[in-house]
Each structure stands twice: as C-alpha cells, then as structure tokens.
Structure 1
Amino acid sequence: MRGNGTSAAPIAARRPAWLLDVSRLVSRAGQGALTGIDRVELAYLDYLAGGDVPAFALSRTRAGYVLTGRAGMIALADAIRGRGWPRAGLADRVLRPRDPARAAAEALLRRHAIARCMAVGLGQMLCRHLPAGTACFNVGHANLTARTLRGLRAVPGAGINVLIHDTIPLDFPDHAREGVPQAFGARLARVSAQADLVIYNSADTRARAEWHMAHMGRVPPGLVVPLGVDVARPDPAALPAGLPPPGPYFVTLGTIEPRKNHALLLDLWQGLVDDPPLGGIPALVVIGRRGWRNAEVFARLDTAHAEGWPVIERADLDDRAVAALLSGAAALLQPSLAEGYGLPPLEAAALGTPVICADLAIYRETLGSYPVYLAPTDAYSWRNTILEFAGNGKNPENGRRAGPNVPTWRAHCKTVLSKAG
C-alpha cells in the first residue's frame, strides 16, 4: 500500500510541539568530526530549538530515556560544537566506563532533563510531558526501535516523521559493515509500518527506499526536500603546519570506506609517482576518518606516507580548515561507487571549487551540470582530467565558475515542518 504524500500535510501551526530524537548525536560524542548524517541532526536541533513552538529532545541512554526541553537542546548543540561537555558524575562513569565522552554527553542530558524513565516507561513519560498532536522527528537513522516507536504512538495524535538518507546497506551490502544490512532492513521495515511521513533528501533516495518498502507491505506518504548546505567560512589560520601543500593539490572528503573508492585515487597517485608527468605531481589531501572493511586501502595510505608520496591524510580538521583547503584546491575528487546525498560536492560547489565526481544519479540531481562526471572505474579518464585540472591549479582562477544555488537549512526545515505528520 502506498501513500500519496498528501494526506499527512497539516500545517506546522496545527502542531502544538516538536520532538527531535537526538540519540545519534549523543552517541557520536568524542568521535571526532561530524558525519553527514550527524550534521543533519544538528541542523534540526538548531532549528527546532530556535523556533517559537515548544520543542523537546529525546535520547536513549544506558540508563533509559531522557527528555529535555529547549535549554537542554541548546546546551547539547553548544557542547557538540566544542564549547565543552560537563564532567560526568560517578553514575555516568559507571554506566559508560570505557566511553567517557558518551558518559559526559549523557550527563549533560540528565542535567537538563524534564523527565527520565526506564525503557518500559517511555510511553507514560511522553504522555505526561508532551501535548497531544506533537510532531516527532527522527532524522539520524538511530533509535528507530519498536519500543521507541510504540512510546511515540502512545502520545494521542502524535505524528512520526522519519528522514531516510539512503538505502546503501540494502543496495550495496558488500560496502557495509558486518550485520549492518540486516539491522538497517529491520529499521526500514519499522519505518514502513509506523511512519506518518517519510522525508527524503532526493528523488533518487525516495525511489530506492519506496522500492524496498513496497516489498515490506506499506509505503508511507513521502516528501522530497533537499538538505541544507552550511559552508564554513574558510580560515587558513585554522590549518595545521604543512597545509595547504605547495603547488596544485586535490581534496577528497569523507569517511575512508569501500564505497568512497579511495582505491582508484591511490592507484592513480601510485601511477604518477612511478611515471611522473612533465608538470610535476600534484598533491592529494585525503580528509576523513578511517572506516571499515578497507584494510588494503589503509595499508596503502600508510605506504604512501612512508615512501613520501604527495598524499596527505588528515582526520582531525575542523570545518573552517576544511573550507580553506577546499577553496584553494584544484578540484574536489569524489569517485564514489554509491552515495546517499553527497554533501562534500555541494560544499565545494558553494565555494566555487571545481568538482570531479562519479557519474551517479544523486549527483546529477543535486549538482546538475556543475561537475565533471566520470565513470568511477575509468582510471584513464580520471588521470587525464586530474592532470588537466592540476595545470589549471597553477592559476587558481582557471576552471572556476559560479556554483549552483544550494539550499539552506532554513528553507529545508520550513518545508518539512509545514508538511509534518
């Protein structure tokens, strides 16, 4: 059964309160740079906390569920941005003995808690503190458990709104960590059964998700709303020593995992080292933390460093430093085999930086004619295009042009809240 996307569309003014699940952000405390999905949850946290409708945040913790109000939401956003976590108390440290950052994050929530409960008491707690008709949002793919969804349903007239970022674990299971496809499939089945509205970042994601949910028995009403893009102001002073590298350089940005296809870039740079072009070898800056199922690529990165290739790997740069590197790069390279949305190319385009990326439907949808599109397996074309842009990189204005109009988070959230179930 498929919804037509029109029945779950009461305007935001008819919803007396908003509830955002922040379990993902809390779980990411101390884990380094935010991922794309983390940034989406943070954007919703900022927008809802800054609105004029009563707003609440819910998180699952080791000790049960915690419900906070606007003050707790603002404190969480500030802490995530590096303004400091509170010291975890004894109980928090006992509950999270091997994860002090997570313990501190959960301590912050409890410090600002409106209410707390054990897992079995979620529905009763929410009914006591949320008005009937509250619009509930899960935008982080986390805490979509049967217990949580039952708890939300206990609130009279509550609407459950879920943002689906991608279905990569089901479409490309070989690229996922062990057990993730099965767990993701179970979450999507619960969304299929329970959601009043599913929010999609693109038509491509909607088509893929609805294909899977049709086989699960129900396709909820859906809404496609492009994600907002917030680009930090480039700050060269935020760069560590050695960056940017001298001469033309390229950037690739994202978790180092199989589907990002770093192997192609390392093949190309090894070829450049073995057979240097007349104009010299440009540098490659790899920005992102090491992920999963990619031991061979990790070993090759270690070899590149040991042998002095012009390949620099950094996982610890803040947004201002990343923007500074992107703004000076000859191009952003994204040879991904699969993407859910792909924020880095949009961020690069917003800065006017050329983008060379895989010819994927999602990039065509979000970036139009801005990038140079190449097959992610065509090493010959990638080498030639990189060397061409390296020549342009000696004159930073060459190859640069105005990027596409990128959506804002304000526009995204206003659209979503006007249609929320």
Structure 2
Amino acid sequence: MLTTAGAASSSLLPAGAEIILDLSRLLSRVLHPMPTGIDRVELVYARTLLELAPERLHFAAVNPFGFYGRLPRAAVVRFLDETEARWAHQTAPARPAMIAAAARTLTRLRPRRVPQPASGVRRYYLQASPHHLHDARRVEAKLRAEDARFVALVHDLIPIEYPEYARPDGAEKHVRRMRTMGGLARGLIANSAATAESMERFLAGSGAAPLIRVAHLGSDALPGGGALPSIPQPYFVVLSTIEPRKNHLLLLNVWRRMIETLGPERTPHLAIVGRRGWENENVIDMLERSTAIQGHVHEFSGLSDRVVGALLRSARALLCPSFAEGFGMPVTEALLCGTPVICSDLPALREAGGSVPDFIDPLDGPEWIRAIMDYSANDSGPRERQIERLAGWTPPSWQGHIETVLKLIADIDLSGDARA
C-alpha cells in the first residue's frame, strides 16, 4: 500500500511517465561480501523508489554475462533483502557457498524480455552507477530496447580533474563515461554543487545540454549492536578505500610524528577502515613495515555495517583528509552517529557537513596534529563545540534526493524533450 509520502512523491511524475531503474552494478557485485559507496547508492535508489513511486517503477540490468533485460520485482526485492543482510552482518561465507548463493541469485534475476510500452507511456531509464557508461553503444542499445529517455547520477569527475589519483586508464575511461552521459542523457543529477560545476565545465562547448539538478546523497544511520573491535581509547577513525586521493599517507606520517614527539603513551590510536585500493605502495609499506606506528594504527577491512557503526560511535572523531571528493558520505554517516568530524576544507565536504565539522587544509600536517590532540582530551573544548553545532544539523535525506530526481524527470517530460 502506498504511503502518504509515497503518494505525494509519485504525483511528481506526470501521468504516463514510468521509470526503469538499472541494477547492473549490484548484480555485478554478488561475489563481494561488502559494499562500496556506489553499491550503497544503487541499492537505496531501489529501496526509496519502491517506497515513493512503486506503481511507476520497473527494474532492468545487464547481468554479469552481458545479457540485458527486465528483472522480476519479487526477485529484486528478495535480492535487496539478502544484500542488505549481508552488508549488515557479514558472516563471511566460504567461497564455494558464496558462489552457490550468487548462482541462485543470478538465476532468479535472469533478464526477461522487454515489453512494448503501452499507448501514451513515456519511459525514463534511470542509472545511479557508472556501470557500462564507458561503452556508449551498450547504453544506446538499452535505450533502444526500452524506447526510453536517459537520466543518470554523476558521482564526481575526479579521474578527469585529478588524473594522478586515478588508475592508469581512469581518466580516459571517465571521459568516455561523461561523453556518454552528455550525449545521451536528457537529465543529469549531481550529488553536490561542486560536482555540478565540474559537469558544466566538462560539457561546455560540447553541444550537449542535459538538464542538471543538484541532489545531495542521503544518509541513513548505521545500525547499532555491533561488537566493538579491540582498540584502545582514545581513537580516531578514517573510513574509506585506501587510495591516493584519500590521503592516508598524511595520517600515517602524523601518527609517526606524534609517537616520536609526544611518546606512545600520549598518542591516540587510529582505526583505518576500508579495503586496500590502488597506487598506494607508500601507504602499504608504512602499514606493513613501519615499526614506529605498529600498535597505534589498526587496519580493518570487510567489517559489517554494525561493527563500523560501533567503531564510529566510540571514536573521538572521523578523520577525512581527502584531496578531492564528489560529496563525502562518510562525513554524513559519522555525523548521524553523533561522531564529530575533522576533514579537508573542500567545497563538497562543506556541502556534506555544513558548518558542523572542523575543516583543515589536507597538506597542513601540524594543524592536523593539533586538532587530533585537542580532540583526544577528555575535556576537549573543540570537540564539545562541534557536538553543540551537530544538534542543529539537518542531514540530507534519501527521500529528498529521490524527489529531486522525480522532479527532474517531470521537467524533462513537460519540456517536450521526450525523444529517446
């Protein structure tokens, strides 16, 4: 039964408009026990649209074997339930059991034939991940099969603007993604005003003119009840994949300097939560070979949402010294847990946290040391002041985000730009 909020949101779509939500990314991750940020976004798009516009919603995907088609709703809902349970509890099944479960999932979600649209129906193909976007011909084939207009979420243009932080082929691949979206999409959603400005710079002079709307990513409080890993107090958390732009190297050198100058007894601990990514040899060398920081820096990967929530709620602060961000979901996740945030002074992070966090230049090591030591104290004035600011913070909601998406689709539909 449609809720009052759902009925109001569904009414944002003009009569005859339908949404086909792409779930290719989630299907491609059936053998991964824990999610990336993009995985979480695609799943919450499915959940929120099921709540806000269920009678206008269909699901489709290119499965891991390369076949495209529609996905049955009941099987999708079961898949979403199982995926969320895995992320929340992470029982870490043995590889054969995970492969068997993935095979069952992909069988239930085998692509079905695309039905012909009823008279008067206009379809909008909505994609919240960059999956397959580097291949414009594949995207065009999906749109032709659906006779649909294309609307996509853009997470960032970091590989283009900061190619030094991307994989070796990252910049070129992301240029192709952006050209696909610029050339085929009728509307684009930016996760921040900072991302929207980057999009406009990239599209300038290309002739592409999709409608662009800013919709901050929503955030849900991480579940409670997780067992806290063994880590001495006081401690700080950094929550991200270990990759160059996240600036873990600054924190490791900060911790080494604090241990050397303040002594091990006065130095707090650091929990690094996230998988190891790419181009991070210097960080890995320090984690594995630096005897100076051993015992004070603790690396965790594959933690369930419950355990991550427990770590954040008991931490002195989340640290986010990134060089570049599209939005900054860890910032909103930490604030929702009631945990203060110390982060880089970036426009996207100011959008995520508003005036609540303490912002520091990501190259200013001495200032990071000062802030960390201030926040370590039991009677920390800066930490208490941030907690006071947090009381007046309004987190971005997924309902608000999806309502912006629905309004964008309505604007495209009403503009008369309904060509596929």
Amino acid of the structure 2 residue aligned with 1:136:
Y
When the two structures are aligned, how many residues end up with a matched partner? 386
Aligned to 1:111: 108
C-alpha deviation, 1:219, in angstroms: 3.1
Question: Is 2:233–2:268's contact at 8 Å kept on the other side of the alignment?
Answer: yes
Q: Deviations over 1:70-108 (max 9, x none)?
A: 112212212322469xxxxxxxxxxxxx99957854652
Q: Residue 232 of structure 2: which of 246, 270, 273 is its match?
A: 246
Q: Deviations over 1:196-252 (max 9, x none)?
A: 1001111110000121122433131111111110112332x4334x1xx22211001
Q: TM-score, normalised by structure 1?
A: 0.84
Distance 1:43 1:263 in 2: 32
Name the SS of the counterpart of 1:255 in structure 2. coil
User: Which runs of no fewer than 5 residues in structure 2 stay unpaired?
Assistant: 1-10, 88-94, 413-420
Q: TM-score, normalised by structure 2?
A: 0.84
Root-mean-square deviation over aligned CA pairs: 2.7
Distance 1:324 1:395 in 2: 24
Asked if 1:19 corresponds to 2:20, the answer is yes
Distance 1:63 1:195 in 2: 22
Distance 1:111 1:333 in 2: 41
Distance 2:245 2:118 in 1: 41
Question: Is 2:259–2:293's contact at 8 Å kept on the other side of the alignment?
Answer: no
Aligned to 2:360: 374
Q: Residue 126 of structure 1: which of 114, 117, 121 is its match?
A: 114
Q: Residue 232 of structure 1: which of 222, 235, 240 is its match?
A: 222
C-alpha deviation, 1:263, in angstroms: 0.4
Distance 2:292 2:81 in 1: 39
Distance 1:49 1:329 in 2: 35
Asked if 1:416 corresponds to 2:417, the answer is no
Question: Is 2:375–2:382's contact at 8 Å kept on the other side of the alignment?
Answer: no
Q: Residue 202 of structure 1: which of 173, 180, 192 is its match?
A: 192
Aligned to 1:319: 305
Amino acid of the structure 2 residue aligned with 1:126:
V
Question: Is 1:18–1:48's contact at 8 Å kept on the other side of the alignment?
Answer: no
Q: Deviations over 1:233-288 (max 9, x none)?
A: 332x4334x1xx22211001000000000000000111122222597110000000
Distance 1:268 1:370 in 2: 23
Aligned to 1:344: 330
Mapping of residues 7-406 of structure 1, within 5 Å: 11-50=12-51, 51-82=54-85, 104-105=101-102, 107-113=104-110, 115=112, 125-126=113-114, 128=116, 132-144=121-133, 145-154=135-144, 158-235=148-225, 237-240=226-229, 242=230, 245-277=231-263, 280-304=266-290, 308-392=294-378, 398-399=384-385, 400-403=387-390, 404-406=393-395
Deviates more, 1:385-394 or 1:251-260: 385-394
Name the SS of the counterpart of 2:55 in structure 1. coil
Cα 1:260–1:54 change in 2 (3 A) is closer
Question: Is 1:17–1:130's contact at 8 Å kept on the other side of the alignment?
Answer: no
Cα 1:250–1:83 change in 2 (3 A) is closer
C-alpha deviation, 1:352, in angstroms: 2.2
Amino acid of the structure 2 residue aligned with 1:47:
T
User: Which runs of no fewer than 5 residues in structure 1 stay unpaired?
Assistant: 1-9, 85-97, 116-124
- Percent of residue pairs bearing the same amino acid type: 35
Cα 1:151–1:99 change in 2 (3 A) is farther
Aligned to 1:120: none
Q: Deviations over 1:27-66 (max 9, x none)?
A: 2223242111111101011123442324222233315224
